[in-house]
Amino acid sequence: MGSQILKISPFAASRTSIVNPSKLSRFLPGPINHNLMQHHILPLPVVTGTGEYNKFYEDGVYTCAGCGTPLYKSTTKFNSGCGWPAFYEGLPGAINRTPDPDGRRIEITCAACGGHLGHVFKGEGFPTPTDERHCVNSISLKFTPANSDSSL
């Protein structure tokens, strides 16, 4: 079986479906990561927890892979055990929240470019200051080390 793509549609009630990547050429006119984020199409991992930043805990800032906007400080990242990078809060004004039509999840997107980041979940009981889990796909992020001139 080849790679699979998870398409998150803003129009479907469930908002997710599996799509054959060979049929996505019309959605991908430019750099793949940017277009995956803009069209809300993200790779479906073969094995949960294989994302680049899932178990990555260096000091620095996570930025939007689409536009470079700072989104999360590394000090807000925690191990939720969900298999994706998890943060308990984003930088002020950096992230938009939109409830899914079914009310089960809240989608998070970059406030600057609208790129899909993942979903935020509340009230799960994690020992964090906000009791929130921002479940973010690694492909939506880039990391800037703390010793870099461009980190916050």
Looking at residue 7, its amino acid is K
Contacts with 110 (C-beta within 8 Å, 6 or more apart), sequence order: 37, 64, 66, 67, 69, 71, 94, 95, 96, 117, 140
How crowded is residue 25: how many other Cβ atoms within 10 Å of its Cβ? 8
The region that residue 93 occupies, defined by phi over 0 for left and psi between -120 and 50 for alpha, beta otherwise, is left
CA pair distance 35, 106, nearest whole angstrom: 21
Render 12-65 in DSSP notation, one character per residue: SSS-EEEE-GGG-GGG-SS-HHHHHHHTTEEEPPSSTT-STTTT---SEEEEET
The one catalytic residue in 64, 82, 110, 135 is: 135
Please tell me what DSSP assigns to residue 82. S
110 catalytically annotated? no
By annotation, the residues acting in catalysis are 135
